[in-house]
Structure 1
Amino acid sequence: MPTPKQMEKLAAEAARRPSPSPPAPDWQLPAEYWESVLKDPRAGTTEAQMRQRRLSEIQRHVLSVCCRRCARTLEIQTADAVRLYGANALWKDVAQR
């Protein structure tokens, strides 16, 4: 445990160091970043489209659902959901159970 004098010295050193400033609002992200964002399969789907997918069409390894009433989040692996409900089950129906 540092002594009070050492703590004052550390605090003074920290105050002298400039803090890193966040990037400006007009800071440009690299083109590769935007390409990867747009290539993501979730970029073109809406929440309603995601709910209407069959379990066999979902690429994600883990599926999660959040309860609106208690804010509890439940996660299930896609393989387990397929085993329990079948590959042709809609994600919307599985999520409500």
Structure 2
Amino acid sequence: MTDRPAGWRMPRPKQMEKMASHVGRNAPPTPVLGPNDDLPAEYWQALLDDPRAESRPGPSLPALRLSQLPQHILRVSCRRCSRVVEIQKADAARLYGRDARWKNVGQKLLDNTCQVRTGRYEEDGCWPQFE
């Protein structure tokens, strides 16, 4: 069963050539961007207007060092197995150093107790989500 209306038939080759010659005539020319060209302002504004865009400036939570984190209890969960690991900031600083990045510490905490092992390096381990 087709979605064509009753009485529809394929255009003849001459009709197709005529239709093809009209394609793109009335369309405004769009500049082609190269790899080194700046993106248009509309693109950046659309990104900023997106509700998922972070409103707070500065580095993200995983990129901060332990000494820069504001919270007392640090929590990291696995997006794969839903396991949650919590540690006090003082204990994490004592074990890994004050200048350790929270991303690295959280990954180590999850890896030390990971229960999802397939035997393949690419698939093993947990997928951290920092809270």
TM-score scaled by structure 2?
0.38
* Aligned-partner residue type, residue 77 of structure 1: Q
Q: Distance in 1 between matches of 2:78 and 2:60?
A: 19
Cα shift at 1:71: 0.2
Which contiguous aligned blocks of 4+ residues in structure 1 show a shift greater than 3 angstroms? none
2:105 to 87, 91, 94: 94
Q: Where in structure 1 are there 5+ consecutive unaligned residues?
A: 1-42
| Corresponding residue number in structure 1 for 2:94 | 83
Matching of residue 67 in structure 1 with residue 108 in structure 2: no
Q: Distance in 1 between matches of 2:63 and 2:97?
A: 15
Give 1 or 2 for the bigger CA radius of gyration.
2
Q: Distance in 2 between matches of 1:81 and 1:44?
A: 25
Matching of residue 52 in structure 1 with residue 63 in structure 2: yes
* Aligned-partner residue type, residue 44 of structure 1: R
Q: Deviations over 1:34-90 (max 9, x none)?
A: xxxxxxxxx6258x6111000000110100001111101110000000000000000
Q: How many residues align?
A: 54
* Aligned-partner residue type, residue 70 of structure 1: C
* Aligned-partner residue type, residue 95 of structure 1: G
CA RMSD of aligned residues (A): 1.8
Q: Where in structure 2 are there 5+ consecutive unaligned residues?
A: 1-54, 109-131
Superposition pairs of residues 4-19 of structure 1, within 5 angstroms:
none
Q: Deviations over 1:6-29 (max 9, x none)?
A: xxxxxxxxxxxxxxxxxxxxxxxx
